[in-house]
A and B are shown apart, each in its own frame.
Chain A
Amino acid sequence: MLYTNDAYTPHEAEIVEFIKDHHDIFTIRLKFTDPELDSKYSFRPGQFNMIYFYGVGEVAISIVNDRDHQKGRFEHTIQVVGRVTKGMMKLQTGDKVGVRGPFGTSWPMAEAKGKDVVIVTGGLGNAPLVAATEEVLQNRNQYGKLRVIHGIKSQDWLIYQDMYERWHNSPDTKVMMATSAEDPVDNGKWEWKKGFVTAYIPELDIDFANSVVMTVGPEPMMLAVAKEFIKAGAKPDNVFVSLERSMKCAIGHCGHCQLGSQFICKDGAVYPYPACEKLLAVKGL
């Protein structure tokens, strides 16, 4: 809908709110300044936008959601990694950026209906799965149990704390956290474990054969999660991962995000695990 004309040129968007999540992690809430575009814009959980910072360039960032479910608002949680994100850290409410999107495939929200849903994330991998989690919660009776497992290097790195608390207190929903650093301190809100996210798998009270697993994190983590869930009884086709490669164009033209025959930007980033298992097994592909 957005790109019947030129898919390369961004549209102006305004920062409605700038939220500092952690020392190098921040969230920008956006709306398009063109009211017509703003009213047409929609995205599916798991898709991403290209965000342009004036004078520096574009970066591909997954669309989080809107915490207050306001129509015509969308959020991006960003960690400072390179030049563009470093510049974006200095943005303020009212500032303008460029946005084009949404791009890519989305989480299997329809296929997950009637099944238990497990969300497994590591680090900032929680951002691309917020929208999927919220969609389950907004249509709570259409899904089975909801389990959210998140791994983080230490407790003080945890972002979205209020959101996790709300999720944990939602019907038939449980939040579990893992940290690989020192012994975690019980925060009285949800369970903490020392170790990897996979440590929770043996004790999950779900019907593995009738579950959908969605995972985002470093590739080795996602591979371990997929293997462990399949071992526990999940169907391989019901395990979904989201891959990341360099993206300049986001529309399958620039060639940077290729993995074998895949253009991650348009054929992914969300894949059923069997579709990328072999590709990820070859080093340097």
Chain B
Amino acid sequence: MSHYYFIPHTKIDQILSYFKGNGYKCLAPRHLEGGISYAPISKAEDLPWGYVDEQKPGHYQITKTESPQAFGFTVPTASVKPMLFKAKETVWKVKRDDSGKLAFESVVDVEKIAVFGVRPCDLRGIEIQDRVFQHNSYNDIRYSKRRENQFIIAMNCGTSHFNCFCVALGDYPRADKGYDLALTEINAGFVAEIGSDKGRELLLYLEVDAATGAEVEHALNLIDNAAQMQHKQLPPIKEVEAKLMANLEHEAWDDVASRCLSCGSCTNSCPTCFCHTERDIPNVLGTETEHTREWDSCFSIDHSYTHGETYRENPKYRYRQWLTHKFSTWRDQFRTKGCVGCGRCVTWCPVKIDVVDEINTICK
């Protein structure tokens, strides 16, 4: 009767060959250049076995341990976002002939991607970006086609880092929807739950048994433990949303602006930030141009430039735009919050600004 299954570590290679056989490129967290980041993998050995991470404000460090786990770390350096909403891509091309005629061609570059090991916060990040690029007034066909061609194996958390705060936002370090399979890693393998027909097909292929009661209990305890490791607190999100907009002239904005470098590390590492700019890149002969879309940040001075005027010239206005957007106006725009509590903006801030502290100061 159980809807939990057990996948031993020894079956990871089978999962990878299943993906390969079904035309998926498989991306998973790997140990790369001193961090754990998503990259293509071809065999179970490629996973970051034994690695754990330490994340604090402005701090990231990984260590190799004797742990038998492949997913003993918390969140990878970057989220899944770049697989769907690329940091830079050509959205269309235009050819110009001798007569000056313009031939526009829409560019949609899609790969079938299977992601092995998506943390629950990053899963929520995808759900939020779906609302921006798909369930909005206009649909982006590039994003939508990538979503249709994505296979998601979620990985529930067994541990939290110092900057994690999904619990403070009312979420939990357990995948609740939007996955094909959700796994929780226990000692010799994973306790698995099915989230879609695609996931069920993979499980059938693997010929695995139901998980035992003890295995399930172990898995659920690990998730609870990860939740309990989180220490950050926030007022209820509805209260945060109202108070931020009621305090647009709070002195704390000046204080944080005096520390903020406007570098955009927070927006770059964020799973939900969607701002982008567009650019034309013509060839030398002048016969063809590529029109690109690339990530932009509300911390860049150009972001609010309009007709000779920069509306958010002061860093205070830019920080306020970022924070009030994430934690207030996002709700009006997309009927959800703009933050998933992954803590990356805190980890990757070079001057250790902790968004949770800033919110608490303003909402006091």
Q: Give chain A's interface residues, CB within 8 Å of chain B.
A: 3, 5-12, 52, 54-58, 81, 94-98, 244-246, 248-249, 251-256, 258, 260-261, 263, 266, 282-285
Contact = CB atoms under 8 A, between A and B. Distances in A.
Contacts of B132: 253
Interface of B: 91-92, 94, 96, 100-106, 108, 132-133, 136-141, 245, 248-249, 274-280, 282, 286, 289, 291, 293, 296, 298, 303-308, 311-314, 316-317, 320-321, 325, 328-329, 332-333
B332 A261 contact: yes
Tell me what chain B mostly uses at the interface: helix, strand, loop, or mixed: mixed
Given A98-B102, A249-B278, A253-B132, 7 more contacts: A9-B92, A10-B94, A58-B278, A251-B136, A253-B133, A254-B276, A255-B275
A153 to B, nearest CB: 15
A228 to B, nearest CB: 24
Given A9-B91, A11-B104, A244-B307, A255 B276 contact: yes
Nearest to A100: B104
A248 B276 contact: yes
Given A5-B106, A12-B101, A98-B94, A253 B306 contact: no
Q: Which of B96, B100, B286 has the most CB of A within 10 A?
A: B100
B277 A256 contact: yes
Given A5-B141, A253-B138, A284-B311, A54 B102 contact: yes
Contacts of B136: 251-253
Contacts, number: 130
Contacts of A255: 274-276, 296, 298, 303
Nearest to B324: A260
A6 B141 CA distance: 6
B307 to A, nearest CB: 6
A266 B136 CA distance: 10
18 contacts: A11-B104, A54-B94, A54-B96, A55-B280, A55-B289, A56-B280, A96-B101, A98-B104, A244-B307, A245-B311, A253-B138, A253-B276, A255-B298, A256-B303, A266-B137, A283-B317, A285-B248, A285-B317
A57 to B, nearest CB: 5
Given A8-B91, A57-B279, A57-B280, A284 B141 contact: no
Contacts of B332: 261
Contacts of A7: 138-140
Contacts of A246: 303-306
Contacts of A244: 306-307
- Pick the 8 closest A-B CB pairs, nearest first: A284-B317, A255-B275, A261-B332, A251-B138, A261-B329, A55-B282, A9-B92, A9-B106
Given A258-B321, A260-B329, A285-B317, A12 B104 contact: yes
B295 to A, nearest CB: 10
Contacts of B249: 282
A278 to B, nearest CB: 10
A269 to B, nearest CB: 12
A197 to B, nearest CB: 20
B298 to A, nearest CB: 7
Contacts of A98: 94, 102, 104
A58 B104 CA distance: 14
A96 B105 CA distance: 15
A253 B274 contact: yes
Q: Which of B138, B139, B304, B333 has the most CB of A within 10 A?
A: B138
Nearest to B298: A255
Contact of A245 (B306, B325, B329): B306
B306 A248 contact: no
Contacts of A52: 94
Nearest to B92: A9
Contacts of B105: 9
A246 B305 CA distance: 6
Contacts of B308: 81
Nearest to B103: A12
Contact of A8 (B96, B106, B137, B298): B106
Nearest to A10: B104
A96 B289 CA distance: 14
A261 B333 contact: yes
Contacts of A258: 321, 325, 329
